[in-house]
Structure 1
Amino acid sequence: MQMMFRCKIKPDQVEHNLKLLRAAFEEFQAVRPEGLRYATYQLDDGVTFVAFVEMAGDPGALRQLEAFQRYRSTLEERCEEPPVMTVLHEVGSYGFR
């Protein structure tokens, strides 16, 4: 499954959001969940974040990661606009795999 998440963070919450994201990525590196590909980008406006996620393994693997759960559990409180999830259906790609 491939998904895209987009969220606009409150300006006063951007640094906290970055801290939580960095902790989640450190946890991904330490645990190395099988089948997970996850990338987050901060857009030029400084407050919008877009994440691309691919789960080839157990979709419940993210629920077992403490730092990711800390990030996710308070995300809506940090958002200026509600997060939006979109399921992606790949048409083609070059150099991504």
Structure 2
Amino acid sequence: MSTVMIRATVRNESVGELETAVGKMFAAIEREGPDGVRYASCKLPDGVTFVVFLSLDDPQNNPLTAIPEFLEFQNGLRGWIAGPPTPEPLTVLGSYRLF
């Protein structure tokens, strides 16, 4: 299993557009119900910093890439974020229904 946290700062004027895209993407993920993935997106209190948690049972096979709305979201990130995202691998020590 591979688990990563990704932090990104979004341009203030892009927050609404990004939140709409996140909703669309997660609706598609719920609809498709891919196995082997746990995925969450969170906004921090500053209103422009977003944190994503992604856990894949098989890091060589991300089932999200088969969902068009996920790919559309990934392509939109280039225009929404203020700088490069920072991915950080995590070691899960304990989890209840998250990882």
When normalised by structure 2's length, the TM-score is 0.88
What is the CA deviation profile of residues 26-66 of structure 1, one whole-angstrom value per residue up to 9, with x for unaligned ones?
01110000011101110000001001011114623121111
Q: Does residue 76 in structure 1 map to residue 59 in structure 2?
A: no
Distance 1:31 1:95 in 2: 23
Contact 1:24 1:67 in 2 (8 A): yes
Query: How far apart are 1:8 and its partner, in Å?
Result: 0.3
Name the residue aligned to 1:10.
Answer: 11
The alignment's C-alpha RMSD in Å is: 1.5
Contact 1:4 1:87 in 2 (8 A): yes
Distance 2:7 2:61 in 1: 19
Count of residues in correspondence between the two structures: 96
Matches within 5 A, 1:49-68: 49-57=50-58, 59-68=61-70
Query: How far apart are 1:88 and its partner, in Å?
Result: 1.3
- Gaps spanning 5+ residues in structure 1: where? none
Q: Match for 2:30: what amino acid?
A: Q
When normalised by structure 1's length, the TM-score is 0.90
Contact 1:2 1:88 in 2 (8 A): yes
Moved more, 54-63 or 77-86: 54-63
- Gaps spanning 5+ residues in structure 2: where? none
Runs of 4 or more above 6 Å deviation: none
Q: Percent identity?
A: 24
Residues 30/94 of structure 1: CA separation in 2 closer, same or farther (3 Å cut): closer
Contact 1:76 1:83 in 2 (8 A): no
